[in-house]
Structure 1
Amino acid sequence: MEALAVRLSGLDPYVDGAMRIVAFYDTLMRRRVDLPALARASAGLAECVAGIRLHGTGGSTRVSPHGTQASTPPAPASGEAPIVLDDEEIGTVWLERPGPPNPLDEVLLDRFALAVAAAAERYGPARTTMADPALVELAISSDSDDAARARALRLLGFAPGLPVRVVAVRTSLPLDRVGALVCPGRPVKAAPLADAGVILATGLDRTGFPAGVRAGIGAAESPDRSWRQARTALRFTTPREPVVDHGDLGALALLADIPEDAVRDNPDVAAIDRLSPEDLETLDTYCATASVRRAAELLHLHHSSIARRLDHIGKALALDLTAPTGLTRARLALTTWRLLHGEPSR
């Protein structure tokens, strides 16, 4: 590379400078320098403050041209570049040049970002959210022994003894995006499996799930048990309640263990199966609110129209929906019917 730079130097000063920058970072990468060394070298080469920020750590590093931590307040970046690893943006590098950008800053930032990605992977764990599905499956499988599970979690970047929650997800969005939203600034990994996406997180903000995502959350116990809980909770999700924590289900979780044949043979569930989509929506809204007027508000109908529908539905179910027992039976039948048919996510 250095020989090529010399040969090109007489052709174009810009090409000469660019090739020397490439050779400079190639040397740093061959020497396997770490992130602090890369920041110091970049600041010295650029003769201005250089910075590195990794999303996975939540922290940033600013180094002065003298190789020390920058003591001046952060200035607007004169140029920046994304750090990309395995097709995922894991951070940013930037320069804080006081004057106008140098014509070669773009080349410098590009090679700076490439070198940081290599160092982040080498001195990891890599800060990408997406993980090897085989490792994730090993971590959550009930067939894995404790030693294999611990090794898988360690390779995924989770410290020994760190509580990990498992989330089962159905979404059309990229899993790494969902993982970053629900566990910002803390270790999180995601991978697609056959029937659902998996997110392993050390902390969870359930309000961070984007619209349209269905998610079941397991407890922070053994990952294999947490995965079973998460899959069960996912079955209880609805458009009205797209995120369900297994711990919030209580005794309702037992409904998921009822054999399918027993569910199909139950008269209440069979009656639910015969309702029209419109009647199902009305019954679902009424069961969720236990109020005719509130259901009417949510469905944008007059309360008398809802009352007539509920009277019709009650007769079809052979239940008095105004009585506590009838409403309880309707709720249980509707929930069990959903579990049986596996309502698709929207």
Structure 2
Amino acid sequence: MEALAVRLSQLDAQVEGAIRVVMFYDTLMRRRVDLPALARASAGLAECVAGVRLHGTGRSIRCAPDGGAAPAPPAPAPESTAVPIVLDEEEIGTVWLERPGTPLPLDDVLLDRLAIAAAAVVERYGPARTTMADPALVELAVSCDSDEAARARALRLLGFAPDPPVRVVAVRSELPLDRIGALLCPARPVKAAPVAGVGVILATTVDRAAFPDGVRAGIGAAESPELSWQQARTALRFSTARRPVVAYADLGALALLAEVPSDAVRGNADVAAIARLADAPEDLRTLEAYCATGSLRRAADQLHLHHSSVARRLELIGKALGFELTEPTGLLRAGLALTSWRLLDG
């Protein structure tokens, strides 16, 4: 390698420098250095502050050229050049230089090699720190067809210890699964993958308040991953725009509605009436608000309407459904029919 570097250096001084940078990082990787050592060596090579940041842990390392920790600047230091750290096709962090003035010609080469070395370090130490996982491995962990030995091995390969139990979340969203998973469980192991058209997130803890807007999710309650996955998918079916995140544990007896055959649901007169009502979006929203609050005035507050306007709407909706909505039995029938109708689309 050194002989090749000498020969190429006769052709182009910049090529020689690039190859020496590559050799520098090859040596570091052979020595199996950690992230702080990588940052220190990079700062010394670049002769300016070098940084490494991992998104999943929020860990950030800044080193000065003398090998010590770089003092915190009075304001966020400008990153003269930055490159993402990529592992398993997922961006897991960033490396950068804080060089005053114009970047040098070899800065890009240095950062490319630093990013590659940082990804290798992350992969080497501890379970893979990326959020996205092999869908086949995740499916093995949650499938009811897997035996316990295969499930335990899959969870171990995904980075989960035998205890505590793994929580399972079923997700539908346009947002990337890795971003959602990192928000739900930022400081502990979390894995995500699409399975059978539904996003699966496995985590040791789930912060229900951390789900971003635009996400529909169901959270399983069981300790066994295969049962928790079934529960999570059931809970997902109950999610709505008003209630986008549903925990199976909160459903109680309502979960039984998910077990009713679809043909039986479609054949029910109340559900059929709700289906016809769906052609009038304003009426449907009014009924949803009333069923969710159980109060004409609270429904009016949610809809930003006068309570008398909501009362007139509910009277007409009740006539269309064939029963009185303001009676307790009518409210119960409407709520069950509305929920059952939603479950048809799952």
TM-score, length of structure 1 as denominator length: 0.87
Q: Deviations over 1:3-46 (max 9, x none)?
A: 44323323443332222102222333355544344334323323
Partner of 1:129: 131
Partner of 1:42: 42
Amino acid in structure 2 at the alignment position of 1:217? I
Partner of 2:8: 8
User: CA contact under 8 A between 2:190 and 2:202: conserved in structure 1?
Assistant: yes
Partner of 1:281: 285
Amino acid in structure 1 at the alignment position of 2:286? T
Q: Deviations over 1:162-201 (max 9, x none)?
A: 3321110111222112212222232111101113111111
Distance (whole Å) between structure 2 residues aligned to residue 205 and residue 33 of structure 1: 34
Q: Deviations over 1:307-337 (max 9, x none)?
A: 2221122122222211122111211111112
Selected match of 1:330 from 330, 334, 340: 334
Alignment of 1:149-298 (within 5 A): 149-219=151-221, 221-278=223-280, 279-298=283-302
Alpha-carbon offset, residue 298 of structure 1 = 3.6
Partner of 2:147: 145
Partner of 1:310: 314
Alpha-carbon offset, residue 245 of structure 1 = 1.2
User: CA contact under 8 A between 2:49 and 2:70: conserved in structure 1?
Assistant: no
User: CA contact under 8 A between 2:235 and 2:247: conserved in structure 1?
Assistant: yes
Selected match of 1:94 from 93, 96, 110: 96
Q: Deviations over 1:218-273 (max 9, x none)?
A: 12611112111110110000111111111221221122122334333433223323
User: CA contact under 8 A between 1:55 and 1:185: conserved in structure 2?
Assistant: no
Partner of 2:26: 26
Unmatched runs of 5 consecutive residues or more in structure 1 = none
Asked if residue 339 in structure 1 is aligned to residue 338 in structure 2, the reply is: no
Distance (whole Å) between structure 2 residues aligned to residue 309 and residue 57 of structure 1: 52
Amino acid in structure 2 at the alignment position of 1:337? W
Q: What SS class does the counterpart of residue 43 from structure 2 fall into?
A: helix
User: CA contact under 8 A between 1:49 and 1:70: conserved in structure 2?
Assistant: no
Which shows bigger deviation, 305-314 or 3-12? 3-12
Amino acid in structure 1 at the alignment position of 2:203? A
Q: What SS class does the counterpart of residue 16 from structure 1 fall into?
A: helix
Distance (whole Å) between structure 2 residues aligned to residue 306 and residue 98 of structure 1: 64
Which shows bigger deviation, 130-139 or 177-186? 177-186
Alignment of 1:49-64 (within 5 A): 49-63=49-63
User: CA contact under 8 A between 2:57 and 2:186: conserved in structure 1?
Assistant: no
Amino acid in structure 1 at the alignment position of 2:296? V
Unmatched runs of 5 consecutive residues or more in structure 2 = none
Q: What SS class does the counterpart of residue 92 from structure 2 fall into?
A: strand
Cα RMSD after superposing both structures: 2.6
User: CA contact under 8 A between 1:29 and 1:115: conserved in structure 2?
Assistant: yes
Amino acid in structure 2 at the alignment position of 1:274? R
Amino acid in structure 2 at the alignment position of 1:289? T
Equivalent pairs: percent with the same residue?
Answer: 75
**How many residues of Structure 1 are paired with residues of Structure 2 in the alignment?**
341
User: CA contact under 8 A between 2:232 and 2:247: conserved in structure 1?
Assistant: yes
Amino acid in structure 2 at the alignment position of 1:319? F
Amino acid in structure 2 at the alignment position of 1:290? G
